Structure 1
Amino acid sequence: MVKKTLAIFCFLIFAYTANSQVLISLLLGDKLNSDKLEFGLDGGVNWLNMTNTPDAEFLFDWNLGFYFDFKLKQRLFIHTGVIVKSRMGTSGITPYSLENANLDSLFVGGTVDRKINYFNVPVLLRYRFVDYLHAEAGIQLGLRYTGYDFFTKEIYNKKDLQFTNDIKDNYTRLDAGGVAGLGYKLRQGDGMIIYARYYYGFVDVDKVLSGNQHNTALYLGVCIPIGKNKAEAKAQEKAAKTESK
């Protein structure tokens, strides 16, 4: 129990400082790149849903974080990082009872969007079939830090009535699942990668509802190397100086 608590605490500290780390990394990007390591920003859009959630529809959202690619062999890499701004959830849920008769009557016929915020850490094995196309698969670990249900009701205009219900304690602190995807590396510029990934959670994250509620997500995003060209130029300059001696 002590080890588990300590691990969660360390994860929290790491995740809490991740926002500042993104900014610092932008300034020090060239220091984080080498012939065996690539650093950059990872971001894009996603479509989120939860299994076995009545009336659930896809929730459209976006994500942002940073990544590291570790080169193991010529075509084999480990891809990891922290998705600092990352959500799971769903939309279009039929309003449930808030144990307040006045609120319940106001939101009859409305909808609920469920947004649960996580720090997500993907750990993927990436294999490059050809110079610019790769497949990847692995796991993704998530640490939930907030969660809200957004009740809305249209009367005259969209979302005339709104109410936010804090639901974070209804969901497990940790999530984990499998990820698989494909990516294409652009031939121009710094070698930006465009990718598509699908995530399916292994954890029944809802502690209240019966059945198994698993997070699912479809990601479309880009990995943008930061400081890669500068790091390569420094390496070439250093090699040239070494040869001239």
Structure 2
Amino acid sequence: MSDVKKITVLVICFLITANLHSQILISILFGDKLNTDKMTFGLVLGPAWNNLTGYAESDAQTNFNLGIFLTFKLKERLFLQFDALAKYKLGAKGLPVYTLGDATLDSIYQHGSLQRSISYVGLNTSIQYRIWKYLNVEAGPVATLRTKAMDFLKADHELGEQVFEKDMKESTTLFDFGLATGTSWQFSKGKGLKLGVRYFWGLVDLYPADAGTNAARSFQVNLYIQIGGKKQTINGSNSNSK
């Protein structure tokens, strides 16, 4: 990898990623300061069902995603949201196995199954429009940086289930990019919890050496938890309300 590419990767890592512990710490320390009438900040978490295109057979792989979000109110019904993805996975299971180049291993796993799991950090940017009460629709790009990629070959054996792990980092693309669209409902009259569903449509072939275009697909359920925010007065009204 050239020096320019290395610097680019480091800059992207610095700008859009942080480890999980630091994100939680930021949420706790700065939640009150980052939640205003025009801005909302907090944690985003939830399950996802992922798959890959281009294979003769595959099943959805379930993962759990975690990150932080920052939402800006642009107009009365228009919002700009950034989801910094700290724990984000794509992949699939139930894929056809391939040869491992070892007669003993091939005899064990030839009738087994393959699970592919790719870990990322990244950024989901979405424009959100409130179409009715607190119901929002959204769309926008997703850019991610691969941190880990593993293949898990599994097979039943007389000694129990056998699992062979193979590092696929060099066989996958470093970056992934795609488009996401979805809808969400904001509870508590526009403040507090928000529950959303989102579909991600990957545009990058994640395994270039394999036949076809092996792009990611992901259906996600996201819970947005606001950290901090306005304090309540004794009579229950917002102390900073207009």
Same fold (TM over 0.5): yes
CA–CA distance in structure 2, aligned partners of residues 155 and 132 of structure 1: 53
Q: How many residues align?
A: 236
| Residue number in structure 1 paired with 2:26 | 25
Contact 2:181 2:199 survives alignment (8 Å): yes
CA–CA distance in structure 2, aligned partners of residues 167 and 177 of structure 1: 21
Where does 1:1-245 land on structure 2 (aligned, <5 Å)?
A: 4-14=5-15, 17-28=18-29, 29-155=31-157, 160-187=161-188, 190-230=191-231, 237=239
Please report how far the alpha carbon of residue 160 of structure 1 lies from its aligned counterpart in structure 2 after TM superposition. 1.5
Contact 1:50 1:89 survives alignment (8 Å): yes
Contact 1:190 1:228 survives alignment (8 Å): no
SS in 2 for 1:228: coil
CA–CA distance in structure 1, aligned partners of residues 65 and 111 of structure 2: 30
- 1:32-91 deviation per Cα after TM superposition (whole angstroms, max 9, x unaligned): 212211001111111101110232111111111110001111111111121111101000
Aligned-partner residue type, residue 87 of structure 1: K
What CA RMSD, in Å, does the superposition of the two structures yield over aligned residues? 2.3
TM-score (norm 1): 0.88
Give the number of the structure whose residues are more often helix, by fraction. Answer: 1
Please report how far the alpha carbon of residue 4 of structure 1 lies from its aligned counterpart in structure 2 after TM superposition. 5.0
- 1:155-211 deviation per Cα after TM superposition (whole angstroms, max 9, x unaligned): 358x61111010111111001001100111123795211111000111112121122
Aligned-partner residue type, residue 40 of structure 2: E
CA–CA distance in structure 1, aligned partners of residues 54 and 18 of structure 2: 34
- 1:68-121 deviation per Cα after TM superposition (whole angstroms, max 9, x unaligned): 001111111111121111101000012211111111111121111100001131
SS in 1 for 2:37: coil
CA–CA distance in structure 1, aligned partners of residues 203 and 100 of structure 2: 29
Higher mean Cα deviation, 11-20 or 169-178? 11-20
Higher mean Cα deviation, 171-180 or 8-17? 8-17
- Taking a change above 3 Å as real, the CA distance of residues 189 and 199 of structure 1, as seen in their structure-2 partners, is closer
TM-score (norm 2): 0.89
Contact 2:134 2:190 survives alignment (8 Å): no
CA–CA distance in structure 2, aligned partners of residues 106 and 237 of structure 1: 66
Aligned-partner residue type, residue 142 of structure 2: Q
CA–CA distance in structure 1, aligned partners of residues 158 and 105 of structure 2: 18
SS in 1 for 2:230: helix
Contact 2:180 2:201 survives alignment (8 Å): yes
CA–CA distance in structure 1, aligned partners of residues 34 and 198 of structure 2: 25
CA–CA distance in structure 2, aligned partners of residues 188 and 125 of structure 1: 20
Aligned-partner residue type, residue 167 of structure 1: M
CA–CA distance in structure 2, aligned partners of residues 205 and 40 of structure 1: 30
CA–CA distance in structure 2, aligned partners of residues 45 and 17 of structure 1: 20
Contact 1:190 1:224 survives alignment (8 Å): no
Please report how far the alpha carbon of residue 14 of structure 1 lies from its aligned counterpart in structure 2 after TM superposition. 4.2
CA–CA distance in structure 1, aligned partners of residues 196 and 53 of structure 2: 24
Gaps of 5+ in 1: 241-245
Higher mean Cα deviation, 22-31 or 8-17? 8-17
CA–CA distance in structure 1, aligned partners of residues 80 and 5 of structure 2: 26
